[in-house]
Chain A
Amino acid sequence: GQNIDQPTEMTATEGAIVQINCTYQTSGFNGLFWYQQHAGEAPTFLSYNVLDGLEEKGRFSSFLSRSKGYSYLLLKELQMKDSASYLCAVMDSNYQLIWGAGTKLIIKP
């Protein structure tokens, strides 16, 4: 079967750095996406990785290792507004997105 695993919840301090991991087992791979979802709102796109390595976009970076079936999202200089759920999703061989259950990130002052 297809499976995406990410931690259910993480806590971090304002101004710090946090890394959210995602491991996956899917039938085929056509890229990995990270989305942010604030409570009661729609998911919004953060990043896309299809090749191994690190993609940096401002305070957020995303890393991919296809051989290990592993990705992480790195958030730097955490702000209170970063409190949200972070969703990992893999595009499989049929170009369908398989979603993880999400990681709820709690930022403390």
Chain B
Amino acid sequence: DAGITQSPRHKVTETGTPVTLRCHQTENHRYMYWYRQDPGHGLRLIHYSYGVKDTDKGEVSDGYSVSRSKTEDFLLTLESATSSQTSVYFCAISEGQESNEQFFGPGTRLTVL
């Protein structure tokens, strides 16, 4: 299994508070992704990174920011959490973009009250 961890695994927070989720990999993969998964929807890409300090927006990036200061860490920040951001968040990694499978972390279940 790819070495990829997420922290925290569960979090409950209140509307308006900032939240940071962490993804850590030990595979030295270049690409890292943040997705959210909601019932009735497919996985939706929030942001992704193609190298240290190189990031780009995905399909549902509003209200989220990311940072990647080291190859192994990719942080997702909700500056001011809203109830619509209640979801399960998955981090994924891949060696490259073309034809490379993505390996997923265990997920973080976030509840915004």
**Are the C-beta atoms of B40 and A101 separated by less than 8 Å?**
yes
The yes or no answer to A70 lying at the interface (CB within 8 A) is no
Q: How far is the CA of A44 from the CA of B103 in the complex (A)?
A: 7
What 4 pairs between A and B have smallest CB-CB spacing?
A: A99-B42, A42-B104, A95-B97, A45-B101
- Chain A, residues 32-49, CB within 8 Å of chain B (1/0): the string is 010000000111110010
The yes or no answer to A12 lying at the interface (CB within 8 A) is no
If A48-B101, A102-B42 touch, does A96 touch B58 (CB 8 Å cutoff)?
A: yes
If A97-B45, A101-B41, A102-B42 touch, does A42 touch B107 (CB 8 Å cutoff)?
A: yes
Interface residue tally on A, bucketed by range = 20 to 34
Q: Which residues of A contact B105 (CB under 8 A)?
A: 42
Q: Which residues of B contact A30 (CB under 8 A)?
A: 98-99
- Chain A, residues 64-88, CB within 8 Å of chain B (1/0): the string is 0000000000000000000000010
The yes or no answer to A20 lying at the interface (CB within 8 A) is no
If A41-B106, A43-B104 touch, does A95 touch B98 (CB 8 Å cutoff)?
A: yes
Can you pick out 24 interface pairs between chain A and chain B where the beta carbons lie within 8 Å of each other?
A: A4-B42, A30-B98, A33-B101, A41-B106, A41-B107, A42-B105, A42-B107, A43-B43, A43-B90, A44-B104, A48-B101, A89-B42, A91-B99, A95-B97, A96-B45, A96-B58, A97-B43, A97-B45, A99-B42, A99-B43, A99-B44, A100-B42, A101-B41, A101-B42
- Chain A, residues 1-18, CB within 8 Å of chain B (1/0): the string is 000100000000000000
Q: How far is the CA of A87 from the CA of B37 in the complex (A)?
A: 12
